[in-house]
Amino acid sequence: MELILLGPPGAGKGTQSKLLETRYGVAQISTGDMLRAEVKSGSAIGLEAKSIMDSGGLVSDALIIRMIGERIARPDCANGFILDGFPRTVPQAEALDELLHTTKVDLDGVIELKVDEAVLVARISGRFTCAKCGAGYHDLFKRPRHEGVCDVCGSGDFSRRPDDKAETVHARLEAYNAQTAPILPYYRAKGRLHSVDGMADMDAVEAQIEAVLRKIGVPAP
Ligand code: ADP
Ligand code: ADP
Ligand code: ZN
């Protein structure tokens, strides 16, 4: 299965792609997570990306395209992958087409999570993750089953993204509208775009995605 999950910041791409990763045994590829790992390690890529990420803008296409090329060539992608947060610009979408063409991989489809802007701000403001295993939580919508303890790994160490603060969220939504939304018509024209209602609760969104997967011929695991 080769799938793109598309949507604005806070739409639920990470939440849903992690569920699909577990269910289908394919690799979840989040360019945001990859960049945050580069920042944490203090690498050259991390140094280049950090200030841009902190300001809510987009990192250069060249850097991202190189990163993705290396990532999907790794053995854990042999079974397929879900792209979360990539492509984010039309040049990135074009570069992906070329990459898939040369590696003879066929994209199953692009699923767009549609969520109103007011809800996105609420989702981003309450977001936190387990610092150890990366499991995602929300202050209101998904608290750990036992207060202060990660459901998945039992760690008590949680973190919040610096770019999830109110000032930056606005810039990120603008970047989405100006630079990422134009890839919707790009995939629509190719007959690849499928939209689901991302306003629904997590289980209902998951069920809608499963319905799209059946429709486009991806068998249930
Ligand atoms: P979210 O899913 O909440 O929008 P991400 O974790 O995908 O956030 O991305 C965080 C930041 O990393 C973005 O605001 C941007 O600066 C950078 N980034 C991630 N993916 C890309 C990409 N494909 N192209 C350019 N910048 C990216
Ligand atoms: P993205 O990767 O698109 O930026 P996330 O998957 O990180 O979005 O979700 C943003 C926040 O909203 C997280 O705190 C997550 O727990 C929460 N969330 C995700 N999907 C839903 C949903 N359907 N309903 C309510 N909250 C959600
Ligand atoms: Zn954990």
Residue 166 banded pLDDT, cuts 50, 70, 90: confident
User: How far, in Å, from the CA of 155 to the mean position of ligand 3?
Assistant: 5
Q: For 136-148, how does the pLDDT look when each residue is reduced to its tens digit (9 = 90+)? A: 999 999 999 999 9
User: How far, in Å, from the CA of 101 to the mean position of ligand 2?
Assistant: 32
| Predicted local distance difference test score (pLDDT) of residue 164 | 96
Distances (CA, A) of 126 to 55, 121, 129: 19, 9, 10
Distances (CA, A) of 120 to 11, 28, 202: 6, 22, 14
Pocket test for ligand 1, best of 88, 90, 112, 170 (most atoms within 8 A of CB): 88
94 vs 47: CA distance, rounded Å: 26
Q: For 98-137, how does the pLDDT look when each residue is reduced to its tens digit (9 = 90+)? A: 999 999 999 999 999 999 999 999 999 999 999 999 999 9
**What pTM was computed for the model?**
0.97
Pocket test for ligand 1, best of 58, 60, 124 (most atoms within 8 A of CB): 58
Pairing mode, if any, of strands 193-197 and 109-114?
Answer: parallel
φ, ψ at 14 (rounded to 5°) = -65, -45
| Predicted local distance difference test score (pLDDT) of residue 11 | 98
Pocket of ligand 1 (CB under 6 A): 9-10, 13, 31-32, 35, 52-53, 56-59, 64, 85-86, 88, 92, 163, 172
Nearest ligand to residue 135 Cα:
3
| Active site residues per annotation | 13, 88, 127, 161, 172
Average pLDDT over residues 210-218: 97
